[in-house]
Chains A and B, each alone.
Chain A
Amino acid sequence: MKLHVLFTLAGVEYALPFDSVLQMEGYAGATLVPGAPAYVDGIVTVRGMVVPVLDLRTRFGLPRAEIGLDTRIIVAECSGRVVALRVDSAREVLKLDIEKNQPAPSIVSERSSGFVHAVHALGKRLLLLIDLPKLLGENSHDLPHALPHADGTTRFQLPS
């Protein structure tokens, strides 16, 4: 059993492993960044970090939507990168028995460019499981190398 965050996009339910989610927030728009890909709304500040907002509708080839009261951003972390995913709504956190995941039918997987890697049947509901590394990974090759972490020390003189 593993905790998942459930969200919706154009009436379809998706699930994301809870342990990759940092937080969920309401959304009031992002600051435009010139030259960013079309599916990037811009940037927002989360916990003092500047993170890009990915509009999952655009990413999945769905029509754009206005920002509404239900619109949420899910702040997720994946191999050191932090991004915010803009979704129509996100209300539930559920334990899913991942043993019961079914591989996504190839046509689904193809249609979603591989972003959906499995399907989970929960009673009558069908949940699509998101492959987060895949969703973000396409750009990983041109990621900046992480700046060398400041591991040195410095000293200061105590007032005498």
Chain B
Amino acid sequence: MTGTADLKEFIAAYLIEAEEHLTVANTQLLAIESAQRNGDTNPRGLRETFRSLHTIKGLSAMVGIEPVVAIAHRMENFLRDSDRSGSALPQPAIDALLRGVRAIEQRIAALARGDIAAAPSEELLAALDSLGLSAAPVARAPTSVLDLDPELLAKLAPFEVDQLLRGIATGARALRAEFSPSPERAAQGLTINSVRERIAKVADIVRVLPRAVPVAPGAPGGLCFILILLTRATDEAIAEAVGLGSLNVQGIARDSPTKAVVPDLAPSIDAELDGVDDGRIDTHSRRGVVRVDVSRLDDAMEGLSALIVTRYRLARSIAALTEHGVNTRELSGIMNDNARQLRDLRAAIVRVRMVPVNELLERIPLLVRGLRRATNRSVRLELEGGDAELDKSVSERLFPVIVHLVRNAVDHAIETPDERLRRGKPEEGLLRITCGARSNTRLEITVSDDGRGIDRAAVAAKAGRPAPDDDAGLLELLCIPGLSTRDIVTTTSGRGMGMEIVKRTIVDELGGELELHSQFGQGTTFTLRVPLTISIVDAFSFECSDQRFVVPVTMVEEIIEVDSNALVQVPANEDGSPAVDMISRRGVAVPMIQLWQVFHLQAGKKPPRKAIVVRRAGAPVAFAVDRMLGQQEVVIRPMNDALVRAPGVSGATDLGDGRPTLVLDLVALSASLNTSSQPLARAR
């Protein structure tokens, strides 16, 4: 049965690759659409889209997914013609192309589920076929020609020449700039990459051509780069942006009384594809990039976890030896080295699992576009990403949450254009998503809109509770399971997940925070803060009634001494719920919960001497424990079985004694104590 196994693996690789190219196609089509709305063309985007579909078609043909071949083939044909004619894509064509991409996506998703890819509808195929007929080449009459070496000109693709000529026609200047790398310049931080970055701020880089030149003092490497630029900035501005005088800039446009002079020297799009197919030309420069199945990384992480556990055992044995009077100084030195190496190894594996946060964001524009059409809202999307990276598993859990918040914003929050005008707001609503690392360990994501805001009284009425007097209270109401503030289930929202799931994912699963800021009539902002990675955390270990527990450091606000004389007992209910004490912390009354009582453990011989303070919904809560044991990195293993799921327990870890130790989520525990009087009553 190796044949099937191979094919399976092959299909898996095909699905991944196809998805990637579909993402590119989506992104580029949207970029083309938005460029055209501003009166520009985006020939590069068009070519990227073409390449993606060409690859999808080729791959699909290899694994025999004919329905996808049929769709991709038609899209590819049309895109090839458009590229040749250099014309802008009409809006109906963009719509049809996006529909085509969507149709392929659906088939890829079906294959991923193990289903069969359905044949495409005749209507879609006809729509794609008819595109080619309407795409008549647009005659252009450039008034300029490019004053460029024929050799260089030959290296420019037709669309690049076209981009230059169009740019010149709209008043921009076409320039060529030369940069020669040298060790001295590199020492000043000037490499082709940094030059490229700096120039990109003042000019559009149409093409960068490397060229071999004779070795000279100005070009010790015998290499120079020619950057073909389009800009509206002055030469001085460009020189200033790059910050060097060594950049040789000259114009390359010359008036032409005659008609187009673009010689057909440049390779056609098809000729270029010969390179694409064998991987020589790759715009994403994927050289040195390895695609890895996440499960393999999980294996590596698992191995590391085992190492960390072994280290604890070793440390214990050494401690025992020391207690017996053995000289363990050298062993301790080795252990220190070992600790450092483990840290480095861990950091390396964690880094491998990281994906750029922009990968999350790049899928949003398509979503918003779809919502815009489905809801007839006019929405402008502002995305602010960054260089932050986060663990793949966090990213996977985060995405559905962002989708939900975006849907809510467009569907419920942002008003119809008429309504907005009536309220004195701009006709176009604003949806803004920002994403950035807040510290080394946390990522902050905000989703804000300038829509109608949330009506506290209405939500409260719906939930049958008194109106909350702050945003935190409102958020709590919104997260009540099953609460929907809308009676009508619309096509875009109303199904899928509610705020309850958002909260469960962010707070319970990821150990993050969720905040709401809503001003009635003005808009709403959701702020999500999640850890960049999960599974290995820094934790405090402590003891309570002879049982050991750990709690992640990030959750703990403070550890305080408990003076049992300073405890104030609060009158308890008679329903058997755990008693709550109060303690004064810097003049503020903090409720204190006896952990042993909540967990139905035996009372300790002495009253608890320490308390761990956490913050829940802005308010501190203290948990009394017997004693703190230390702080260490722990590997958190999930406890998935329903039999052992308990509020306040987020997993288990191994501290080296071979027995699992419970990892506590004291924030969730305090929440569960509030919502039900006996959350942990034993069935015993």
Contacts and interface: CB of A to CB of B under 8 A. Distances in A.
A156 B352 contact: yes
Given A31-B660, A150-B295, A150-B392, A37 B288 contact: no
Contact of A52 (B354, B641, B662): B641
A69 to B, nearest CB: 18
Contacts, number: 132
A84 to B, nearest CB: 10
Nearest to A40: B643
A157 B302 contact: no
B647 interface: yes
B292 A155 contact: yes
B637 A49 contact: yes
Contact of A153 (B291, B639, B645, B661): B291
Nearest to A36: B644
A154 B658 contact: no
Nearest to B354: A154
Question: From DSSP, what is the main secondary structure of chain B's interface residues?
Answer: mixed
Contacts of A151: 112, 294
A33 B290 CA distance: 42
Interface in A116-160: 139-140, 142-144, 146-158, 160
**Among A49, A149, A153, residue most surrounded by chain B Cβ atoms (within 10 Å):** A153
A108 B658 CA distance: 39
Contacts of B291: 153-155
A56 interface: no
B643 A154 contact: no
Interface residues of B, number: 55
A36 B646 contact: yes
B269 interface: no
Contact of A158 (B290, B295, B659, B660): B290
Nearest to A44: B660
Contacts of B647: 35
Contacts of A143: 641-642
A48 interface: yes
A150 B297 CA distance: 10
A146 B640 CA distance: 8
Interface in A1-33: 29-33
Interface string A77-89: 0000111000000
A38 B652 contact: no
A92 B348 CA distance: 46
A34 interface: yes
A157 B355 CA distance: 11
B120 to A, nearest CB: 25
B288 A153 contact: no
B289 A158 contact: yes
A35 B669 CA distance: 12
Interface in B280-322: 288-295, 297-298, 302, 305-306
A50 to B, nearest CB: 4
A31 B654 CA distance: 11
Nearest to A151: B294
A131 B599 CA distance: 32
Contacts of A48: 302, 305-306, 637
B598 A37 contact: no
B44 interface: no
B353 interface: yes
B659 A31 contact: yes
A150 B646 contact: no
Contact of A43 (B298, B355, B660, B680): B660
B641 A81 contact: yes
B646 A33 contact: yes
Nearest to B348: A156
B683 interface: yes
B511 interface: no
A158 B637 contact: no
A112 interface: no
Determine which residue in B294, B647, B658 has the highest number of CB atoms from chain A within 10 A of its CB, and name it.
B294
Contacts of A35: 646-647, 679-682
Nearest to A43: B660
A83 B661 contact: no
A32 B600 CA distance: 10
Interface in B440-465: none
A83 B297 CA distance: 26
A150 B294 contact: yes
A38 B392 contact: no
Contact of B600 (A34, A82, A155): A34
B396 A83 contact: no
A113 interface: no
A83 B392 contact: no
A54 interface: yes
B617 to A, nearest CB: 23
B659 A45 contact: yes
A82 B648 CA distance: 22
A143 B420 CA distance: 46
A155 B290 CA distance: 6
B651 interface: yes
A150 B396 contact: yes
- Residue picked from A43, A51, A52, A54, most chain B C-beta under 10 Å: A43
B466 interface: no
A142 B684 CA distance: 20
B351 interface: yes
Interface string B646-684: 111101101000111110000000000000000111111
B639 A43 contact: yes
Contact of B641 (A45, A51, A148, A152): A51
B638 interface: yes
Contact of A45 (B289, B352, B643, B660): B660
A50 B90 CA distance: 58
A154 B296 CA distance: 10
Given A45-B654, A48-B302, A157 B392 contact: no
Given A48-B306, A50-B652, A148-B396, A156 B351 contact: yes
Contact of B683 (A37, A43, A147, A155): A37
A24 B293 CA distance: 32
B644 A52 contact: yes
Contacts of B641: 51-52, 81-83, 143
24 contacts: A30-B660, A33-B639, A33-B644, A33-B649, A34-B599, A34-B682, A35-B646, A38-B684, A40-B644, A44-B660, A45-B652, A48-B637, A49-B637, A50-B651, A52-B643, A143-B642, A147-B638, A150-B393, A150-B396, A152-B392, A153-B294, A154-B297, A154-B354, A156-B289
Given A34-B601, A142-B642, 17 more contacts: A34-B680, A35-B646, A35-B680, A35-B682, A36-B682, A38-B684, A43-B644, A48-B302, A48-B306, A54-B643, A140-B642, A144-B640, A151-B294, A152-B396, A154-B294, A156-B289, A157-B289
